[in-house]
Structure 1
Amino acid sequence: MNSKVRVGLVYGGRSGEHEVSLQTAFAVLKAFDYDKYELIPFYITKTGQWRSGPKLKAPPGAVAELKFEPDAGAEAEQADALQPVVRRMSELAAGENFAQNAIDVMFPLLHGTFGEDGTIQGLFEMANLPYVGAGVLASAVGMDKAVMKTLFAQAGLPQVGYRFFTRYQWQREREALLSEIESALGYPCFVKPANLGSSVGVSKARDREELAAAVVTALRYDRKVVVEEFVDAREIEVSVLGNDEPRTSVPGEIVSSNDFYDYNAKYIDGKSVMIIPAEIPPETAQSVREMAVKAFRAIDGSGLCRADFFLRRSDGKLFINEVNTMPGFTPFSMYPLLWQESGVSYRELLDTLIRLAIERHQERQALEYGG
């Protein structure tokens, strides 16, 4: 019997963060211990096609190797290469026993829509597969900033002022919404799609014309829009790891190269600076860590998340901004760097996340469904 843990890595996907996901998968595959794990890659194209690759015996040499683009003469071979996820779903539907060599745990490395929004997690739940990271509910809440803010408010977590509305409301109440935002939040303000990550579709509005244009931009990516009050603040982040007993890393600070930490500042210009640990008072660092755990529990988190905060410059007041249930995970991303500073290596993080996934799955197996 194979003593190695068989891990299926899923990456790519239909979201605007497809390329970010590929970079994450490349980094993770290079860091795994191949003496301990068998790694089976699953690439989801930008159009949603699933493509499986062979079991990896060594790290890939380049990101391009992760796409498994079929050659003209290899289409039949690709069509015959049933992915274990698809096979398991078919067996589930047919009521057959699962194969002995089934995947032990799935590791989704998908960012944004169809990846960290609960959809892929629901597929794994239906297939009764252990998987790394947040469950269906926490993933969906972590993606939907409007619902997330509602839960944070219920948990008593301080937040900057905000409003949210749907495309339907915008089309029928445009002027009333603009007036309410101006009155409640003022300028400048930030406009975001409610369900997207990596700051895609986010704009800073300084007047009514820019606000209306920013809403139109956000509605390209989602049917729901969130508008947030501007605060002159430092951006503090902390990593959370665990299930029922989550622990936190040291906090870090993002000093953005742009007006705000947008997609360009995160992934393109390379000028933003991460300060780890953040140069903040010990009592502030402790508050950040406590609030991060409170936010993690407010969304019923599991596995991992990164919690992001605003630290207002004028008075040092903390506001939670959001949590990210599938944060950037390259060795140069904030999440693993914060853990590295806290004494947990990148490879140890991978081991821990897989262990947490299996533990959570085993706990769920004890539940009873039906009468």
Structure 2
Amino acid sequence: MANQKLTVGLVYGGKSGEHEVSLQTAYAVMNAFNYEKYEIIPFYITKAGDWRRGALLSAPLASVEQLKLERAEGGTKAALDTLFGKLYGEQTLDVLFPLLHGTFGEDGTIQGLFEMADMPYVGAGVLASAAGMDKGVMKKLFEHAGLPQVKYCYFNSTQWVQTSHDLVRNMETELGYPCFVKPANLGSSVGISKASNREELEKAVDLALQFDLKVIVEEYVDAREIEVSVLGNDEPIASVPGEIVSSSDYYDYAAKYTDGQSEMLIPAPLDEEVADRIREAALQAFRALEGCGISRADFFVRRSDGHILINEVNTMPGFTPFSMYPLLWRETGVSYASLLDRMIALALERYERRSALHYENS
């Protein structure tokens, strides 16, 4: 058994605006696996939500395009038969490795499916994933944990239709201009706008509501953007901090994935005491969300007074070759391949502990 390879189900694609990001991540991870330890079964979820299962791989595919298994035999039934095989005695997989970003990927939805399939899986569980995806819920958990953050307003589409005038006046009073408008449940900064007046604010809210039914509006702070990677279950560890220096007003989807105009400073040029406080706050945020496996915590360090503000936690950070999460661990002394090993080990550890629980009285 010591030399037996683990079979990893790599799940990617998905019904979200971050479908292409997921493909990039899956390709990077597939190329980083040690195929003397693992063999891979790719599971591609199309933009329409159909599942496709690929053949067992003992080496990575040659291109991102080959990950799009549109014509895989058996369709959704074959893919789900493999995924749920353990439930009827035909287990093929040892662990699932989701690389899905955004809606239906890191919001607890797919994690709940894996729980029902009784399979170990990499990353956060249902609760942390759902809370980490909903920025409003996440901010309430941060408040409860005593983590300082920017001022914000949180409302849904019905409230906007019925009381938009009152909401706008409240935001102008509490937040002022400029401010940032975000869909509550979308990652990679999709749908974010900066508003400098009432007209721009109303347009920004309308745009955000095209992507989600709930909206977060935050005050603007002149601040440095600092990120920390977290790894672990009950005893998580934090990486060195990194800094994002963006060419745009905010680190949006284009800055992250397409225009190449943002710069990463790793490690971030911070005083040691400040860096330690940020790392501790990252662990505190991880625990506030009941995190497990991995996360990346994003902070603002206000330029005027150096005050540290938690921005958000991402429970499924990107793993593209230029993503902050693996780069921070590399600087901390953990290679890409070792990081994947640890993530899988954490998934198996968490599954083993949960499997020992009782769900009915004896």
Q: Normalized against structure 2, the TM-score is what?
A: 0.97
Distance 1:257 1:108 in 2: 31
Offset, 1:87: 4.1
Q: Percent identity?
A: 66
Match of 1:82 among 78, 84, 88: 78
- Equivalent residues, number: 360
Distance 1:271 1:61 in 2: 28
Residue 350 (structure 2) aligns with = 360
Residue 33 (structure 1) aligns with = 34
User: Is 1:239–1:249's contact at 8 Å kept on the other side of the alignment?
Assistant: yes
User: Is 2:132–2:313's contact at 8 Å kept on the other side of the alignment?
Assistant: yes
Which letter maps to 1:6? T
Unaligned runs of 5+ in 1: none
1:317-351, CA deviations, whole angstroms, 9 ceiling, x for partnerless residues?
Answer: 00000000000112321000000000000000000
Residue 120 (structure 2) aligns with = 130
User: Is 1:52–1:81's contact at 8 Å kept on the other side of the alignment?
Assistant: no
Offset, 1:81: 7.3
Residues 173-212 of structure 1: matches in 2 within 5 Å? 173-212=163-202
Q: Please state if 1:268 is matched with 2:258.
A: yes
Residues 1-371 of structure 1: matches in 2 within 5 Å? 3-70=4-71, 77-79=73-75, 82-83=78-79, 85-89=80-84, 92=87, 96=88, 98-99=89-90, 101-371=91-361
1:110-159, CA deviations, whole angstroms, 9 ceiling, x for partnerless residues?
Answer: 00000000000000000110000000000000000000000000000000
Distance 1:262 1:43 in 2: 26
User: Is 1:25–1:109's contact at 8 Å kept on the other side of the alignment?
Assistant: yes
User: Is 2:86–2:117's contact at 8 Å kept on the other side of the alignment?
Assistant: no
User: Is 1:331–1:346's contact at 8 Å kept on the other side of the alignment?
Assistant: no
User: Is 2:154–2:214's contact at 8 Å kept on the other side of the alignment?
Assistant: yes
Distance 1:167 1:115 in 2: 23
Distance 2:201 2:57 in 1: 49
Which letter maps to 1:37? Y
Distance 1:137 1:129 in 2: 17
User: Is 1:18–1:111's contact at 8 Å kept on the other side of the alignment?
Assistant: yes
Which letter maps to 1:300? E
Distance 2:83 2:230 in 1: 31
2:296 is paired with a residue whose SS is: strand
Structure 1 residues 88 and 253: CA distance shift in structure 2, 3 A: closer
Which letter maps to 2:319? F
Which letter maps to 2:69? F
User: Is 2:102–2:186's contact at 8 Å kept on the other side of the alignment?
Assistant: yes
Q: Following TM superposition, where does structure 1 have runs of at least 4 consecutive aligned residues deviating by more than 4 angstroms? A: none
Which letter maps to 1:267? Y
1:82 is paired with a residue whose SS is: helix
Unaligned runs of 5+ in 2: none
Which letter maps to 2:59? A
Offset, 1:211: 0.3
Offset, 1:200: 0.2
2:78 is paired with a residue whose SS is: coil
Q: Normalized against structure 1, the TM-score is what?
A: 0.95
Offset, 1:78: 3.3
- Which stretch of structure 1 is more off in the superposition, 329-338 or 203-212? 329-338
Distance 2:148 2:106 in 1: 25
User: Is 2:50–2:76's contact at 8 Å kept on the other side of the alignment?
Assistant: no
User: Is 1:252–1:275's contact at 8 Å kept on the other side of the alignment?
Assistant: yes
